[in-house]
Structure 1
Amino acid sequence: MINNRISTISFFKKISYNKKLQQRSIDDINLIVIHCTELPDLRVAREYAERIIYPSGTGNCGHFYIDTDGQTYQWVDLERVAHHVRGFNTTSIGIELSHPGRYPNWYHADDQDITQNYPQQQITSLLKLLDTLKISIPALRFITGHEQLDTEMITAKDQPNIKIRRKIDPGPTFPWATISKHTQLSFLETTEDYE
């Protein structure tokens, strides 16, 4: 059973609307999307994730969250479709890394650089989770970042004459080279590469 394998490395604390999310088969999952929360800590990330924004009584949330100390939490069942990336939710797993990103000025033109590194213990936990998911989900083939899938440009809040990326996570400090050495998943560079 998938959840039994994951429970050896994860702590479970489901989101309040977990059972309201659309159901799916594990066989439909073939993609992992890496995110960073772009918030100061996991407590604030939980507050954002608990916000109800859809008529179904659900909100935006990943399946897994990995704190800076490496602790891993599963907030959404794998058999549920989490709202974490436009257009790819039904076939993907969202993994959120606690990281400030561009917080608090996400959409200000002069605050578009993500410079903080990801802690080693967080990346180690991510690699363990990726290994577990790959073993548990036979159809799992791809991994990518949120920024590869959501490429929308928006107007900067502080400078309306400048366009910026809506999503740039996990960002340039994320160690993709380390991830690619330790996983058998194929990196998805663009949406055109996705089958």
Structure 2
Amino acid sequence: MSTPVPAIQIDHLPYVPRLQARDPAGIDLVVIHCTELPDMAMAREYGERVLYPEAGTGASGHWYVDRDGGITEYVPAERVAHHVRGWNPRSVGIELVNTGRYPHWYDSRHQAMTEPYTGAQIDALLALLDQLRATLPGLRLIAGHEDLDTDRVAASDDPARNVARKVDPGPLFPWSSVLAACGLERVLPASS
């Protein structure tokens, strides 16, 4: 029995036409993120922010999966989204709505990620991954944002201490069950 095609709401970011176009056949990697924000409304607000004035674009994933399993496309696969340093041209990004370390991302006293991902989110993620494997012929790899961006930054509460810049999707993401079901190979820092 095949996985049903997920319902995806299209709500492209205003700057999508300014993002670099690409051939989806060159995409071989999907990167799993969490928003580290409380809800979809704030994720949209952050996605619309222009962070690169010379290009008039910002940072976002391609698809966002809400806690109830709803999926929204902010950027089509045919465009390069800014979601993970150094890997954007060959990858697509999926953001799972999750509070993460919000609002104290770099406070050394607030590094635990305690919100579990919902069953509806993981089911929607797996359906989306199945659809991506069917539509992106080169897709064969998967990674967490934390696997690819391993930089450390000064803690906001104590500049003498360092914390991870990115920790998503974090320790509560069910890697074993996702890997068993998605048919993709995980990229880890040592293998990249």
Which interval holds the TM-score relative to the shorter structure? over 0.9
RMSD across aligned C-alpha pairs, in angstroms? 1.2
Q: Secondary structure at the match of 2:126?
A: helix
- In 2, are the aligned partners of 1:145 and 1:169 still within 8 Å (CA)? yes
Corresponding position of 2:22: 24
Q: Distance in 2 between the 1:90 and 1:32 partners?
A: 11
Corresponding position of 2:180: 181
Q: Distance in 2 between the 1:150 and 1:163 partners?
A: 15
Q: Distance in 2 between the 1:56 and 1:163 partners?
A: 31
Q: Distance in 2 between the 1:17 and 1:104 partners?
A: 26
Q: Secondary structure at the match of 1:135?
A: helix
Q: Distance in 2 between the 1:13 and 1:96 partners?
A: 14
Q: Distance in 2 between the 1:114 and 1:97 partners?
A: 13
The amino acid across from 1:106 in the alignment is: W
Corresponding position of 2:98: 99
Deviation at 1:174?
Answer: 0.4
Mapped pair 1:169 → 2:150:
no
Deviation at 1:138?
Answer: 1.0
Residue ranges of structure 1 left out of the alignment (5+ in a row) = none
Corresponding position of 1:154: 153
Q: Distance in 2 between the 1:153 and 1:13 partners?
A: 33
Q: Distance in 2 between the 1:125 and 1:135 partners?
A: 15
Q: Secondary structure at the match of 1:59?
A: coil
Q: Distance in 2 between the 1:155 and 1:132 partners?
A: 39
Q: Secondary structure at the match of 1:180?
A: helix
Mapped pair 1:71 → 2:70:
yes
Q: Distance in 2 between the 1:189 and 1:88 partners?
A: 13
Mapped pair 1:33 → 2:39:
no
Q: Give the structure-2-normalised TM-score.
A: 0.95
Q: Secondary structure at the match of 2:163?
A: strand
The amino acid across from 1:35 in the alignment is: H
Mapped pair 1:13 → 2:11:
yes
How many residues end up aligned between the 2 structures?
188
Residue ranges of structure 2 left out of the alignment (5+ in a row) = none
Q: Secondary structure at the match of 1:19?
A: helix
Moved over 6 A (4+): none
Deviation at 1:181?
Answer: 1.1
Percentage identity across aligned positions? 46
Mapped pair 1:135 → 2:144:
no
Deviation at 1:86?
Answer: 0.1
The amino acid across from 1:148 in the alignment is: D
Corresponding position of 2:61: 62
Deviation at 1:176?
Answer: 0.4
Deviation at 1:9?
Answer: 2.1
The amino acid across from 1:108 in the alignment is: D
Q: Distance in 2 between the 1:73 and 1:160 partners?
A: 37
